[in-house]
Structure 1
Amino acid sequence: MENTQNAPTTISGYASYVAVGDSFTEGMCDDLLPDGHYRGWADRLADRLAADRPTGDFRYANLAVRGKLIGQIHDEQLATATALGADLVTLAGGLNDVLRPRCDIARVEELLGDAATRLRATGATVVMFTSTDPTRRMAGSARLLPAILRMKAFVHELAQDPGIAVVDLFSAPCFDDRRLWAEDRLHLSPEGHRRVAEAVLESLGRPAAFDWRAPLPPADPPSRGAKLAADARWARNHLGPWLGRRLTGRSSGDGRPPKRAELLPYEARSREPEAREA
């Protein structure tokens, strides 16, 4: 469950928000915006925060870039995020490190903890995340579980600070449903992003507009042929290119700037909670 004991009872006081992280926070595989960027849960969260403010009285920056390791997030985004001095910061990172076979988990914790400490020193409320449990939906992911559990415990330890809230995705079985994930099986679908945005709002003390943990309606299981075809398509279109980037030391985020690098005024697209999209 989220760390809501010390969270504010209303989010209306947040006049500015900065998102820090990797593809999870950039919004990969959500709907595309007119400018070609993915929308993502952070944009959806900004919509809801902006809706609680007078028109023109909310600012938002999203520094997240796909493919970034925690060291890159720490070195490339942290100084900017602290300098912006936002009321609220979301901080997510480290999973890209965990996916690599020789991950130095102690170093990941050191950098993530330093980032959280420095962001809290600005006076911001900081929201952090636990990973979902990949073993419940992805074959071959059991090797990741010890590091994911260690990171989960570490994030909850950081949340002993009353200014840090935690969104515990690991304990939400709804994320076992593949319909909350994109075809690449690593990034959220639009419905997954919608639920994470609601989870963040709840972690900040806002009564949930819907139960983001609720399971999706039952669906007929795919046929064996359809499953084999989907697995082959995934291996060809996603696994192969991912392995190629790992072998050549490249990243999907190389040379890519943040989609919203400055803390600029942001107007809500809608002032009502979103209808369910899945």
Structure 2
Amino acid sequence: MPELPEVETSRRGISPHIVNQKVSNVILRHHQLRWPIPENLLALIKDQVLLNIDRRAKYLLLRFESGTLLIHLGMSGSLRICELNTPAQKHDHVDLQFEHCLLRYTDPRRFGAILWLGDSPEDSSLLSILGPEPLSDEFTAEMLYVQAKNRKLPVKQFIMEQKVVTGVGNIYATEALFKAGISPIRAANNINLKRYQLLVDAIKETLTEAIKQGGTTLKDFVGGDGKPGYFQQTLHVYGKTGELCPSCKEPLTSVKLAARNSVYCSHCQR
């Protein structure tokens, strides 16, 4: 599933090609993703100039003068810049056509979303509940420590709550906890401020490095240029159950947390 670094990689990849360009056409080959795509999408953005592309958590926000178009990549979605008249393949569901190129949304599982948020996007039900961005100055150890005081759930689940901090998904939560030396099953309210500082630093470092590497490609993800991400080559523990810990050389173990497999080192992570 594309997480924050993959979405940010997509944003950076497509922006230079289509920002400040005018939409000339919209082609809908499939009208239903996770939710229905607005039937009047062409009327909403035709002849509109794309002013900017922002990212909020795992959502891309395409800003037009008339409002904001939200794109969520879901489980298997990707966005690519294609030449005009590039033949569509089986899972190419939506094209936004500009003067010199088109933005193509591909999604084999169709669990993503393309929604019109109008001129007050931050008030939408999807965005209004989100916590701070993990790479922002608002995301601090003090903030986590205060919010965790009465939370007995495992810390991994805690940092994956979108109301606590946005965009820290399974891959990067697993890697950041390993880097910080914190067990994913430790109760969130049983971690002191000093260790939360280690975790905040680890989250920021892990996400920053993943963005530099173009994200993580485990199956479906490609960036705006159609190329995969390379951060998977530097993963320390994610997906490595039974392999040796890169630090202590003891076998890595795994546990199910909220139906997600969490790999960690029981010797290095406490």
Q: Under a length normalisation based on structure 1, what TM-score does the superposition of the two structures give? A: 0.27
- Larger strand fraction of residues: 2
Indicate the structure (1 or 2) with the bigger Cα radius of gyration: 2
- Larger helix fraction of residues: 1
Looking at both structures, which has the greater relative contact order when contacts are Cα pairs under 8 Å and sequence separation is at least 6? Answer: 1
Q: Under a length normalisation based on structure 2, what TM-score does the superposition of the two structures give? A: 0.27
